[in-house]
Amino acid sequence: MDAWVSNIIFPFMGGVALFLLGMKLLTDGLRYAAGNTLRKLLYKYTSTPVKGILSGILITALVQSSSAVIFATIGFVNAGLISLLQAVYVIFGSNVGTTLTGWIIASVGFKVDLQLLSMPILAVGIGLWLAKKDSTVGALGQALVGFAIFFLGIDVLKNTFEDAGEFVPFDQIGSGFYGMLLLFFIGMALTVVMQSSSASIAVIITAVGGGIIPVEGGAIMVVGADIGTTSTALLAVIGATPNAKRAAMAHVLFNVLKGPIALPFIGFYIAMIYNVFGSDLSLPYVIAIFHTLIKILGLIVLFPFTAMLVKFLEKRFTQIEDKPETTRYLDPTVINTPALAISALIFELKRVDRKASKFVRGVLRSELKGNKLEVKSKNIQLLTDSTIEYIRDIKTSGLPDELEEVLPNALRVLQYLGEARINAIESQKVTIKGDISGEIKSGLKTLRKMLVSFARISDSESKKFSVEELQKLKVQLEGLYETLKGLILLEASKGKINLETMLSIHEQIRNYRRIWDQLLKAAVYLDQFNKLIERVPGTGEPLQETVEYFSQTT
């Protein structure tokens, strides 16, 4: 037992730990060093299905982490920067791109002295990392350190499995149906426990290369590991937005649905690989090729049904969206990425604006009264409170200069919209007592009608949204306001209306005036936000292309 622990368990745990540490350093370093390239790939090259898939493959190959790419993609969907359909294509491509790790292990891990290879890489990497910390060169040094530790972990795992012959009964592992089923669940468990499909693939390839398990058993473990990797995405979106859950589910479905494509035909695939590449092909290469093959087959099978899959997903996880008080774009998974969080914030502000505009119109048209009015107002207030909390939580360090004013201006927008809503409620509470002339009645009716149009144009999500039109309409509203105010003063001076009636009418039109004032103030800032989404001031680049998502910790 002591020999088993000292020769198998401890080295195995140490090898996995080194591999995971190496992958972490490698991924973080590459993600920072290649941040500009990666974000431009994701933003610019997802316009078509093929581009989306190729972007997913390339980005994952560059950062060596499908989880990082999938989490980033989910964040972009929540921020409204790419559609769910675009995200699904990237996720599909990312699943194919993650197979590169297996090729690296098969190509290098069993052909060279990994310790000899790792030491100079480690020395150079440490030197760059320490000398040029917090820079692109330093990040590249960090990546080199991770690469070296990655190889050391592979070397430990390889040696562990080569020495395991004295302790492991080779001929009993993976034999028969139950043996194969056991390997499937072991592969799944490895990924769930380590939260890294790359680490699982490394264990599987080194175990097959060391002769611990047969190549068919290794292939079964690969399928299990792919299904196990879905746990990472599922855990990451607990409590997240509906779009995050839909994107994560696309990742889950891709890996689960290809199971029936792979499991029943493993013997056929292995035989085909040997026929194509030769019977002397090394076992690690067989596993690497098999892993890539089933990913590509899954992509081929699911690709024609992607649009249908997205429509299916869009009908799921709608319970939260159906509650007006729940935010739609503000996902905690992007809170520590300032530029991306701000993009999500802008989309949420526009949503609050739409609800506030609709509320004002409903009050002015007497469609919202009593309990219905209270519920609607409370829902908007809850949504406002959640948005304010999100603003306070946004990490401001590293915020581009062009975006520094977004947070205080966002709070101003919420304040203006809240005051407009309160003034609308107050206007409904005003009771005009006594008889008033037809001229005043007509003026009040016209004022309300114009204000309804004003509120509709102030909806920043509407195609009719225009600050210029609002300013023109405000001039007309101000003119009518002054006319009505003069008219009620004149009629009061002539005794046609009493003092109480005069004051109530004046209170009514003052509430109306406050509404258009607050809505216009909010619209000015929202117009700036719309332009910010399209162009960042001073750079000429779209906001989406300034998001440093990959250069910061996920």
pLDDT per residue, tens digit, the chain (554 aa), is 455 556 667 777 887 788 778 767 776 776 666 555 555 666 667 778 888 888 888 888 777 667 767 767 776 776 566 788 888 998 899 889 888 888 888 887 666 666 777 788 888 888 888 887 767 788 788 878 887 887 787 777 767 766 555 555 544 555 667 778 888 888 888 887 777 777 788 888 888 887 778 888 889 999 998 888 887 667 666 666 677 778 888 888 888 888 888 888 898 999 999 999 998 898 989 999 999 999 999 999 989 999 898 888 888 776 554 444 577 778 776 676 666 678 788 888 999 999 999 999 999 998 888 888 998 999 999 999 999 988 888 765 556 666 778 889 999 999 999 999 999 999 998 888 778 888 998 999 999 999 999 999 999 988 889 999 999 999 999 999 999 999 999 988 888 888 888 989 999 999 999 999 999 999 999 998 887 765 433 333 444 433 333 233 22
Q: Residues 338, 341, 345, CA angle at the centre, nearest 5°?
A: 130
What are the contacts of 50-53 at 24+ separation with CB within 8 A?
A: 52/86, 52/88, 52/89, 52/90, 52/92, 52/93, 53/89, 53/90, 53/92, 53/93, 53/96, 53/299
Query: DSSP labels for 340-359?
Result: HHHHHHHHHHHHHHHHHHHH
3-state DSSP call for residue 553? coil
Global pTM exceeds 0.75: no
- In the chain, the largest separation of any two C-alpha atoms, in whole Å, equals 112
- Choose among 32, 59, 63, 67: nearest CA to 139: 32
Three-state SS for 134-145 is CCHHHHHHHHHH
Tokens of 550: 């990959």
What Cα–Cα distance (Å) separates residue 121 from each residue in 117, 118, 145, 149, 494? Answer: 7, 5, 7, 9, 95
Task: Give pLDDT, residue 409.
Answer: 92
Q: Compute the CA torsion angle 256, 258, 264, 268 (nearest 10 deg).
A: -150
Task: Give pLDDT, residue 338.
Answer: 67
User: Taking a C-beta distance cutoff of 8 angstroms, is the pair 2, 140 a contact?
Assistant: no
What phi and psi, each to the nearest 5 degrees, are found at residue 404?
-60, -35
Task: Give pLDDT, residue 3.
Answer: 55
Task: Give pLDDT, residue 468.
Answer: 94
Task: Give pLDDT, residue 226.
Answer: 87
Q: Out of 1.20.58.220, 1.10.10.10, 3.40.50.300, 3.30.230.70, which CATH number does the structure's domain 332-546 have?
A: 1.20.58.220
Helices (H) and strands (E) in the chain, counts: 24, 0
User: Taking a C-beta distance cutoff of 8 angstroms, is the pair 27, 65 a contact?
Assistant: yes
What phi and psi, each to the nearest 5 degrees, are found at residue 531?
-70, -30
Token pair 């114009």 in the structure block, residue: 450
Token pair 């290369």 in the structure block, residue: 209
Q: How far apart are CA 364 and CA 358, in angstroms?
A: 10
Q: How far apart are CA 87 and CA 250, in angstroms?
A: 9
User: Taking a C-beta distance cutoff of 8 angstroms, is the pair 339, 75 a contact?
Assistant: no
Tokens of 330: 């503000």
Looking at residue 312, its amino acid is: F
Residues 6+ apart with CB under 8 A from 8: 160, 163, 164, 167, 168
Token pair 């008033």 in the structure block, residue: 436
Task: Give pLDDT, residue 189.
Answer: 85
- Choose among 210, 384, 402: nearest CA to 287: 210
Residue ranges, comma separated, of all CATH 1.20.58.220 domains in the chain are 332-546
